[in-house]
């Protein structure tokens, strides 16, 4: 296991060496300068100069934070963690590996993410003995190794996974990984892991009871380990070989291998103690070092927060400016559209006023001509016909013989006189002129009533009440037009006319039980008649409302300011 950690640190050193430039003597924290500090820190660690390495790594971290380079920050944390890993301060190593992974995940450096996940997996499996968590990190490491197309690292991580599964007795789960490293280790492996591979093959062979193969693998692993300097993996090989021998009841050999394991473990522990003794300064300053590292990060976070606050402030200002501009544009647009609409409505109002004036002028002209013609017929033509009839009567009385021609002429004159009188009354009803609006409307309802339709007249005012002649004439012909519409179009059997004067306003309400019509289309249905009525009412400063629905009858209400004499 120690060999695998050393191998990973060596890979880290090679990576930094191949990705750094010549060391700059300047103290300016550039990316190149900071990368050189990380490389030097790794080199010092590999030379077992952990104290110097940590000091250099701390400086590299400070520079990395100053230039805000996540990749260099992650590399610096990884080197710091690896130093603590070397001096068996696994909790601190674990803490800084996790910090390194946090920043590495913000980069596109798959190799760096691979190393950090693998290192965290090592601590979970072989120090904390939390195998499920460790294996999960190993598998993340495999993903990044595959993305980086790093077969060497794939072999190395799969060896760790195999060992972890075998440690918890999950040999079937570890087998695919063992088969992979057996296939690719000769080409992509390293002599530092050869002892461990032979040990793992021996463990699996023992599990499947292939004792001959197990014996051969364990012996080869011990042979390779004895010829090299790898005591850690060699000690574990003797331990697993001892278990194999004990399983096969070779207790004496098992005891001998167990003694060798204990001896190697004691030597390794003594070496660790000696190493720690040589690092008294670090041991005394570890907590202080951690506080300094945390202080560096805290300063960075404070600075970063200040920058974020400034950015937030600038964003808010930008949002306010843009929002204000947008509001101004929107308001200007609505102002422009409102003015445009006002102009459009003004044009419509002018057109409507012109049309209304034309209609009213036409109506007023018609009423004037109606009165003029009625007056001419009554005062002139009717009088002349009466005079002619009188002269013929005198002539007929003086004549001794009755002339048939005179009699016929007199009859024709009387017919002409009656028709002219009727036409005169139609143009200007005599009842309206003599007795007023209410009397004339009452008579109109009676005359229009028949077996098909009945017009009911309701009025609380006296029939003899009079208003201005023009007002009475206009209201009479408006109501006449509405009643004619009922007769022509409604198919009603009953209609009602209500009249009331309230506070100098004449209220008119006309209803029928006819077929009704669509009020949205009434102008099309009824033609120019209702348009004229609306124009007359509006010209009198009155109001008219029409409510109707198909098969529900019609209701018309009119309010007209009264013009008195």
The mean pLDDT value for 263-278 works out to: 78
Q: How confident is the model at residue 138 (pLDDT cuts 50, 70, 90)?
A: very high
The predicted pLDDT at position 134 comes to: 92
Please state the φ and ψ torsions of residue 401, each to the nearest 5 degrees.
-110, 140
pLDDT above 90 (res 403) = no
Least confident of 41-45, 85-89, 345-349, 555-559: 345-349
Check if the beta carbon of residue 547 is closer than 8 Å to that of residue 555: yes
User: 548 with 510: CB under 8 angstroms?
Assistant: no
Report the SS3 class of residue 387.
helix
User: pTM surpassing 0.85?
Assistant: no
Beta bridge partners, 501, equal 506
Digit-coded pLDDT (tens) for 432-464: 777 888 888 898 899 889 989 999 999 988 877
Least confident of 1-15, 170-184, 441-455, 538-552: 1-15
160 touches 4 (CB < 8 A): yes
- pLDDT at 174 (0 to 100): 94
Across 235-249, average pLDDT: 92
Rg (alpha carbons) of the chain, rounded to whole number = 58
Give the pLDDT mean for 230-241: 88
CA–centroid distance for 559 within its chain = 53
* Most confident among 276-290, 398-412, 471-485 (mean pLDDT): 471-485
Q: What's the rounded mean pLDDT across residues 154-179?
A: 93
Yes or no: say if 81 and 122 are a contact pair by the CB < 8 Å rule: no
Q: pLDDT by residue (tens digit) across 25-49?
A: 445 588 899 999 999 989 988 888 8
The predicted-structure confidence for 354-374, as pLDDT tens digits, reads as follows: 666 665 566 666 666 666 665
Report the pLDDT averaged over residues 265-273: 82
Q: pLDDT band for 201, please (50, 70, 90 cuts).
A: very high
Report all structural domains of the chain as residue ranges with CATH numbers, in order of start: 11-107 (1.25.40), 111-187 (1.25.40.10), 190-282 (1.25.40.10), 435-561 (3.30.565.10)
State how beta strands 494-502 and 454-459 pair: parallel
């Amino acid at each position: 296991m120690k060999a695998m950690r050393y191998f990973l640190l060596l890979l880290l050193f090679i990576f930094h060496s191949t990705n750094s430039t010549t060391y700059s003597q300047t103290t300016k924290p550039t990316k190149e300068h900071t990368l050189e500090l990380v490389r030097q820190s790794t080199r010092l660690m590999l030379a077992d100069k952990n104290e110097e390495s940590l000091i250099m790594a701390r400086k590299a971290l400070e520079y990395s934070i100053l230039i805000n380079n996540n990749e260099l920050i992650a590399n610096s944390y990884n080197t710091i963690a690896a130093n603590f890993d070397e001096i068996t301060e696994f909790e601190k190593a674990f803490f800084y590996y996790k910090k390194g992974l946090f920043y590495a995940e913000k980069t596109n450096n798959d190799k760096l993410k691979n190393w950090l996940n693998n290192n965290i997996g090592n601590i979970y499996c072989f120090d904390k003995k939390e195998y499920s968590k460790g294996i999960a990190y190993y598998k993340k490491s495999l993903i990044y190794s595959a993305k980086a197309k790093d077969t060497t690292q794939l072999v190395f991580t799969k060896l760790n996974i195999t060992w972890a599964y075998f440690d918890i007795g999950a040999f079937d789960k570890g087998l695919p990984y063992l088969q992979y490293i057996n296939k690719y280790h000769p080409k992509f492996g390293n002599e530092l892991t050869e002892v461990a591979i032979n040990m793992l093959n021996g463990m699996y062979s023992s599990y499947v009871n292939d004792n001959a193969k197990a014996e051969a693998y364990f012996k080869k692993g011990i042979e390779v380990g004895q010829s090299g300097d790898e005591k850690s993996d060699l000690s574990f090989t003797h331990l697993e070989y001892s278990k194999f021998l004990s399983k096969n009841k070779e207790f004496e050999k098992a005891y001998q291998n167990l003694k060798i394991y204990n001896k190697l473990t004691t030597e390794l522990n003594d070496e660790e103690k000696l190493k720690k003794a040589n690092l008294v300064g670090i041991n005394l300053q570890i907590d202080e070092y951690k506080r300094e590292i945390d202080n560096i990060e805290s300063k960075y976070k404070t600075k970063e927060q200040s920058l974020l606050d400034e950015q937030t402030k600038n964003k808010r200002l930008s949002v306010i400016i843009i929002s204000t501009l947008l509001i101004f544009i929107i308001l200007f647009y609505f102002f422009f559209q409102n003015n445009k609409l006002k102009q459009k409505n003004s044009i419509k109002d002018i057109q409507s006023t012109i049309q209304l004036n034309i209609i009213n002028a036409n109506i007023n002209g018609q009423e004037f001509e109606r009165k003029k013609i009625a007056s001419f017929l009554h005062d002139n033509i009717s009088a002349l016909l009466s005079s002619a009839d009188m002269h013929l009567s005198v002539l007929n009385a003086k004549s001794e013989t009755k002339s048939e021609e005179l009699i016929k002429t007199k009859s024709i004159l009387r017919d002409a006189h009656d028709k002219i009188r009727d036409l005169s009354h139609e143009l200007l009803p005599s009842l309206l002129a003599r007795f007023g609006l209410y009397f004339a409307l009452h008579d109109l309802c009676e005359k229009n009533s028949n077996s098909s339709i009945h017009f009911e007249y309701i009025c609380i005012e006296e029939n003899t009440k009079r208003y201005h002649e023009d007002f009475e004439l206009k209201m009479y012909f408006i109501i006449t037009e509405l009643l004619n519409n009922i007769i022509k179009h409604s198919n009603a059997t009953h209609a009602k006319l209500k009249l009331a004067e309230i506070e100098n306003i004449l209220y008119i309400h006309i209803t029928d039980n006819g077929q009704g019509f669509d009020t949205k289309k009434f102008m099309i249905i009824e033609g120019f008649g209702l348009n004229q009525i609306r124009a007359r009412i509006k010209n009198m400063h009155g109001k008219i409302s029409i409510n109707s629905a198909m098969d529900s009858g019609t209701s018309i209400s009119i309010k007209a300011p009264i013009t008195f004499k």
